[in-house]
Structure 1
């Protein structure tokens, strides 16, 4: 799921990656909405809020919204940095491992912080910043692994691309083009669907567990890492068996 890059990736690889991580992004997003009344998987709206506060001369709040954007940016930067360092080192670790560990730790720490300090006052800004950082890490990771084919933390671009490809499907006739378009449409619909499912499931879980729901999201990420590791080990075990024979 994480170890294949470029032409080595198939639709199945991208589907597994997209559905699992868009589901997690949906859970994180709804947790942010319910706990601190803020979207925490993209930064588009925060620019509008920044502009609003600047016009109203609320410069402190304007700075906070810029901080949110920078946290997402820093998460993306750190994820890219860790991925590049790991891929350039001649280790057997997946380049996705360090960013995934960072995201898991941040989600767990957000719950720990909210448990001890609550979700009111200035704690809101800390929680939002941390969740945006985590989503920056995730979005950068899946973008690099899939070569920009998969994005899991915001839907605006996905709906735009989906609309374009649905229009192209009406006019394209070459079998190869039709197949490529259908695969791309299928992938985008899967991402959108699982993001919504993540929001709904996360919303129901939040009613009972509040921000402890982030621990469940972290659990899904941990399972994803173990799944990828086990498939990797089985692949090389099969190669060794067939080579020996």
Structure 2
């Protein structure tokens, strides 16, 4: 799920990745909005507010929206930098680094929420946007820009285009590919929605407040652990089969009858 890249990556891998990360993004988005009345998975709205403040020459007021935008950008930059830096060594699952960072940020915010004197709303929003920038960057890198999980505007645009393509005979040869892409986008949208429902339920109904972010962190860590465990299991299994094959030696050739 996290390790496969390029041609070895399948629709199944992308769906597994999309469902997990879009669910987490939906949960984070609703939790951030209910806590601080700010969107925390994309910067489209923040950019509009920033431009509005600048157009009214309220530069200082617009600074906070600039920081929101920069936090998302810096998260994306950090994730991409780590992937490029450590991908050269090939000694570890490089996608574990930004995933662990994202989990650590979510856990830190939940823990700091119990120490209200240390919890600045604008700082928390910046931290959440940084974590979503991390996620959006590495999921884009893993899936070769096929999967995006932190915002839905582009997804709905692409989904509308692909649904319209199914109505024309010229796309008959590409119909299976288009249907597969539509399926992936529906999964992303659906699980983003479910993540938002879960975030609202745990935040308000269960009264977990910012502790809701711990659920997102737990999902990320469990997914990472499962992916590493599965990789270790399959690798060990292949080594065992190869070892047995080597012990048996090459097949004996039948003696020729003179």
Q: TM-score, normalised by structure 2?
A: 0.90
Deviating more after overlay: 52-61 vs 4-13: 52-61
The equivalent residue for 1:8 is: 8
**How many residue pairs align between the two structures?**
242
The equivalent residue for 2:125 is: 128
Deviating more after overlay: 144-153 vs 45-54: 45-54
Q: Quote the offset at 1:174 in angstroms.
A: 5.9
Structure 1 residues 1-245: aligned runs within 5 Å: 1-91=1-91, 93-117=92-116, 123-172=120-169, 176-207=173-204, 208-245=207-244
Measured in 1, the distance between the counterparts of 2:167 and 2:50 equals: 41
Contact kept, 8 Å, 1:172 with 1:178, in 2: the verdict is no
Q: 1:35 to 1:243 in 2, by over 3 A?
A: same
Q: Where in structure 1 do 4 or more consecutive aligned residues deviate above 4 Å?
A: 172-176
Measured in 2, the distance between the counterparts of 1:172 and 1:137 equals: 40
Q: CA RMSD in A?
A: 1.4
Contact kept, 8 Å, 1:36 with 1:119, in 2: the verdict is no
Measured in 2, the distance between the counterparts of 1:216 and 1:66 equals: 29
Measured in 2, the distance between the counterparts of 1:179 and 1:159 equals: 19
Measured in 1, the distance between the counterparts of 2:202 and 2:85 equals: 37
Contact kept, 8 Å, 1:35 with 1:119, in 2: the verdict is no
Contact kept, 8 Å, 2:165 with 2:171, in 1: the verdict is no
Q: TM-score, normalised by structure 1?
A: 0.95
Q: Secondary structure at the match of 1:105?
A: helix
Q: Which ranges in structure 2 are unaligned for 5 or more consecutive residues?
A: 245-258
